[in-house]
Structure 1
Amino acid sequence: MSLAEEMFQAAMDHSPLSATMLGVPGWEDGLEDLSTDGEQVIRDRVARLLDKAETDDTEDPVTLAVIRQQGQAIVDRIDARLVEHTVATMSAPVNSLLMVSSKLDVSQRLDQFPRYIEQAAQRLRESDRRPLSRHLRTGVQRMEGFLALPVQEWEGAHSARIRTAVAGFRDVLASIEDGRADDRAGLCWLPEGERNYANLVRTYTTTSRRPSELHRLGLDIIAALREEYAEIGSRLWGTTDVPEIFHRLRTEMLWDSEEQMIENAVEAIARAEAEAPKWFGRMPSIGCQVRAVPEEEQSTSAIAFYQPSPADRSRPGTYWLNPLGATERSRTLSEVTAFHEAVPGHHYQFSIASETELPNMRKYAFIEAYLEGWGLYTERLADEMGLYSSDEQRLGMLGLDAMRAGRLVVDTGIHAFGWSRQHAVDYLRENTVMTGPEIDSEIDRYIETPGQALAYMVGRLEIQRVRAEAETKMGDRFDVRAFHDLVVGSGAVPLSTLDQIVTAWADAP
């Protein structure tokens, strides 16, 4: 077995549910071992493969770079012990398990659900790293919300055991009386937090950039975006006052109904699919459908997310939209989110890579700086493609730009510089158009998934940089369709490796 396949097998064994979510067959009957001993076993296995990668001469350089990045990411996440203080958001193990169960066939692993949930509870009981008190309360509410639902079809004959385990997990959350206060929200307040955060920053950005550098980058981008807001605000409303523009976006540009939100997304994706052949030489062999998040999951689901088509192409890629509170949400974010999550964003990215002859390690690597960098890159590409239907929707593009730039400031602020949760909330309130509930959700996500939010803007800027350098170097030889085929056809790679791939392409005669 090749080193690439060994690392791929280790990564999928570590997270079998992720394999199923990515559409990779062969792991339909497994669930991650959350115990301390179980994590140590997989860590040791991955560490041995990383040692082999140091002297391997059988893999090509790009594949070897992916092997190293993916292996180190597993080690860094295990070492950070996030499972012991992640209980409120989608990244929390139990929340994630319950959320995806209605979207995937979990019938072959239902007997493992109680064990998995009980392991999560045990890690919380034994840990010296407490979640935030507010997150403990949220976790209790979410477990009670699940228990209040009628028995779900997917629970099958295991319903009683699953619900007993969920009730036990709820009781553990409720019993913890020494949760962290909001003014000690970041990793810097936890044992080995500074080192763990530095490792996670490296993992998620695939760069050596320091938190202080990323913090300053975010501040600079936020300042530059204000000029773009003023320009479009002047055209749309005759005002360059950014606070007034923010106020109008928060209070005036709302959906009339849930149905209107879904219809708009369908129309935007159809428009993107029609225009895409001018910008891509290779299109996915399967389409992208739009679906509303089921009502029973809306309270714990993200606003929007993409689910890849399985390897057997038994269903299309799926763009999931959460209609909860649609009439209180800005319609300006509709098109930009559809372009990011679906076409030409993650749907093209995942689908095209999975149809290549690349090793599985390359097809299915989950490298956030590349994946989310591409999604954010396509938000601006969509403007270049002429896909936005109005200046109103372009303001939505700026809105998400500001959110991603704000993430650079706030994520580093919380975890490296000791910001309180309220400090982070205040910063996003002043510098983005997000509503209060959206900001709360975002901040909780940053607290529980340190470093992940940095990947978006760092990746986008790097893709834009390598494209600009290739355009300058190649002149009339530059073909944007070939560039996009190269980027998505290479599979997920570290940013430094992407630079090497594009440079070699641009230098070729």
Structure 2
Amino acid sequence: MPNKILLGGLLAAGLALAGVVHANDADERFRAIYAREWAWRTGQSGISSSGEAQPGAGRLDDVGPASQQRRLEEWQRVLGELDALDPRQLSPEQQVNYAVYRAQIAGLLAEQRFGTWQMPFNSDSSFWGDIGYVLGGDRLRTLTDYQRYLDRLGQIPAYFDQQIANMREGLKRGFSVPREVLAGRDVSIAAVAGLKDPTQSSFYAPFRHLPATLSAEQAQALQGQALARIRDAVIPAYAKLLDFFRHEYVPQARTTLAAEALPDGKAFYRQQILEYTTLDLDPDAIHKIGLEQVAKIHAQMLDTMRDSGFKGSFAEFLQFLRSDPRFYARTPDELLMRTAWVAKQVDGELGKFFGRLPRQRFAIVPVPADIAPYYTSGRGGADAYLVNTYDLKSRPLYNMPALTLHESMPGHSLQLALAAEQRGQPAFRRDSYISAYGEGWALYSEYLGNEMGIYKTPYERFGFLTYQMWRACRLVVDTGIHHLGWSRRQAIDYLLDNTALSRREIENEVDRYISWPAQALSYELGYLKILELRHKAERALGAKFDLRAFHDTVLQLGSVPLPVLERRIDRFIAEGGPEPDFGCDCAKGGRGG
């Protein structure tokens, strides 16, 4: 009997050890796949993940058809390798990585199959406008850095020529940005094309104040080379692009609006929905969710309107908010200072809601003048929160608390900084962005403003609700445009009737939804999922529920598909809601931000 027990124990131990070895072998095969592909991917330019451009090592290299075919073939091969693995053989940590990575590769492959590289801009962002970020002019330190930057400036004409050729092919098959949203989109091209003095270009900015480590001769030589490169290469390339845009692209652009009107449009729109929401939902189901949320939020808006003491109708209240001078800054500095005051109030509350805070800090920066007229109200990153100070009468102060919570902390600035500080995750997770997770978290951060006490007046609470309504309306408007055949006017009127956003904001936003199908769906659907998971954990854990631990667990993952997040919170519940181990150089959050 004792011998049988010993034999059984040894057999079990041997099987367990074999399983570990097997799992480690599977892990290693998976690591080899993603390590090789990621190294290849980051050596390319123009590759994006969920609409967010990757730096591509600062190069503006080959984006022509042959290069696009190589990308298609590469991701087909990688997807085949991934499907040959059994995810159940991976360790728990690598199973999460696999789920994130496979979805990433599937999305990149789908983009290639639909030929989205033939439409390399939308009303929100563009290849010509993103060049400054790609080239990294603010990250130059050494003589070699500056010489590489000059070399990359010289690549702009060939890069633009390839993009023009790609757009021509898109025009031939009816795959273009709709003509109706192209008015004024050439302003940022013309701003460079019309320069008389190259030293006034943003491309010259890195050469105005050179490091003291460079000699006077080196500095003078670099400045002369930069001036010549901008004058002889960059400005003519933008002039050529401007001519193409005005005289070829706009006249030949499609007159339809819907994504479903594009070649293979129904499949394309469903793929865009999957990419941006990470959920397999059909447009009709999303439209229905949107209508339900709009009705719910409208009732809350009416209650808040009554709390303000206003006696008129809802439409009259919206007109009052859009027109009364008390709700608008008189100068750009006033808007920026009010924004900063909100951000500092949030700072004082962060430690109560998060166990881990990032070391990274963010700056508040006005949106550059050349893109401000059609840019969104604000945009946040780990190091900067851009605030649009153009046309102040369209930037109501009662919206600034919600906007600031979304774009800075605890929204994008917090989430992105924590993700960057992770040490235990592969680069394809740290350096990528999934819209449903990131935008869902930022919208949830607006909701947290209620618990933080950030909304001080009925008007600021109404601003929060109008932002909530705005994202709920996106579910209705995006599916309305791309699936149900809505016109631009229908979409604008729907937002005018239901939100307190200014007409300028609404028109810019609708143009963005038209030219960027499904991206607008990610916000509300991501937010609803995070809120649902919080309520699920609260019910399951009762008195053991710790909000700081819940938030830390959500943020510890970095950017992941919503089904992966849901599985992690299910584990959080099963384990009794423990505080996670970040494995990063994050700061403890006990005393604020």
TM-score (norm 1): 0.91
Structure-2 residue corresponding to 1:66: 100
Give the conservation status (yes or no) of the 8 Å contact 1:368–1:456.
yes
Structure-2 residue corresponding to 1:311: none
Match of 1:387 among 454, 465, 475: 454
Structure-1 residue corresponding to 2:546: 479
User: For structure 1, which segment, 145-154 or 423-432, has the greater mean C-alpha deviation from structure 2 after superposition?
Assistant: 145-154
Match of 1:125 among 168, 187, 197: 168
Q: Give the Å deviation of 1:332.
A: 1.5
Give the conservation status (yes or no) of the 8 Å contact 2:377–2:395.
no
The one-letter amino acid of 1:221's match is Q
Query: Which residues of 2 match residues 97-496 of structure 1 at below 5 A?
Result: 97=131, 104-105=138-139, 108=149, 109-127=152-170, 128-129=173-174, 130-149=176-195, 150-151=197-198, 152-155=201-204, 156=226, 157-159=228-230, 160-176=232-248, 177-181=251-255, 184-239=256-311, 241-252=313-324, 253-308=327-382, 317-357=383-423, 358-496=425-563
User: Do the aligned partners of residues 448 and 105 (structure 1) sit closer, same or farther apart at CA in structure 2, a change above 3 Å counting?
Assistant: farther
CA distance in 2, matches of 1:249, 1:69: 43
Structure-1 residue corresponding to 2:32: 2
- Computed over aligned residues only, the root mean square deviation of the Cα atoms, in angstroms, reads 2.5
Structure 1 residues not aligned, in runs of 5+: 309-316
Query: Which residues of 2 match residues 40-79 of structure 1 at below 5 A?
Result: 40-56=69-85, 57-58=89-90, 60-79=94-113
CA distance in 1, matches of 2:122, 2:479: 20
The one-letter amino acid of 2:158's match is R
Q: Give the Å deviation of 1:79.
A: 3.1
User: For structure 1, which segment, 42-51 or 441-450, has the greater mean C-alpha deviation from structure 2 after superposition?
Assistant: 42-51
Give the conservation status (yes or no) of the 8 Å contact 1:102–1:154.
no
Structure 2 residues not aligned, in runs of 5+: 1-30, 141-145, 205-225, 577-593
Q: Give the Å deviation of 1:50.
A: 1.7
User: Do the aligned partners of residues 248 and 346 (structure 1) sit closer, same or farther apart at CA in structure 2, a change above 3 Å counting?
Assistant: same
Q: Give the Å deviation of 1:44.
A: 1.8
CA distance in 2, matches of 1:18, 1:406: 27
User: For structure 1, which segment, 427-436 or 205-214, has the greater mean C-alpha deviation from structure 2 after superposition?
Assistant: 427-436
User: Do the aligned partners of residues 110 and 245 (structure 1) sit closer, same or farther apart at CA in structure 2, a change above 3 Å counting?
Assistant: same
Deviations 1:384-436 (A, max 9, x none): 12122322211111111111111111111111122222222222222222222
Structure-1 residue corresponding to 2:591: none
User: For structure 1, which segment, 3-12 or 98-107, has the greater mean C-alpha deviation from structure 2 after superposition?
Assistant: 98-107
Task: Name which one, 1 or 2, has greater alpha-carbon Rg.
Answer: 2
The one-letter amino acid of 1:330's match is P
The one-letter amino acid of 2:505's match is E
Give the conservation status (yes or no) of the 8 Å contact 2:71–2:112.
no
SS at the partner of 2:74?
A: helix
SS at the partner of 1:291?
A: strand
User: Do the aligned partners of residues 345 and 376 (structure 1) sit closer, same or farther apart at CA in structure 2, a change above 3 Å counting?
Assistant: same
Structure-1 residue corresponding to 2:574: 507
Q: Give the Å deviation of 1:92.
A: 2.7
The one-letter amino acid of 2:454's match is L
CA distance in 1, matches of 2:54, 2:508: 30
TM-score (norm 2): 0.79
The one-letter amino acid of 1:122's match is A
User: Do the aligned partners of residues 462 and 28 (structure 1) sit closer, same or farther apart at CA in structure 2, a change above 3 Å counting?
Assistant: same
User: For structure 1, which segment, 399-408 or 68-77, has the greater mean C-alpha deviation from structure 2 after superposition?
Assistant: 68-77
Give the conservation status (yes or no) of the 8 Å contact 2:478–2:517.
yes
Displaced runs of 4 or more, over 6 A:
16-19, 21-25, 99-103
Give the conservation status (yes or no) of the 8 Å contact 2:124–2:375.
yes
SS at the partner of 2:72?
A: helix
Structure-2 residue corresponding to 1:39: 68
User: For structure 1, which segment, 470-479 or 164-173, has the greater mean C-alpha deviation from structure 2 after superposition?
Assistant: 164-173
Deviations 1:337-371 (A, max 9, x none): 11101110111101112112222122222110000
Give the conservation status (yes or no) of the 8 Å contact 2:540–2:573.
yes
CA distance in 2, matches of 1:164, 1:486: 51
SS at the partner of 2:128?
A: helix
Deviations 1:148-169 (A, max 9, x none): 3443152434212122121111
Does residue 163 of structure 2 align to residue 91 of structure 1?
Answer: no
Q: Give the Å deviation of 1:186.
A: 1.3
CA distance in 2, matches of 1:101, 1:263: 31
Percent identity (aligned): 27
Q: Give the Å deviation of 1:58.
A: 4.7
- How many residues align? The count is 497
CA distance in 2, matches of 1:237, 1:339: 26
Bigger relative CO (Cα 8 Å, ≥ 6 apart): 1
Q: Give the Å deviation of 1:5.
A: 2.8
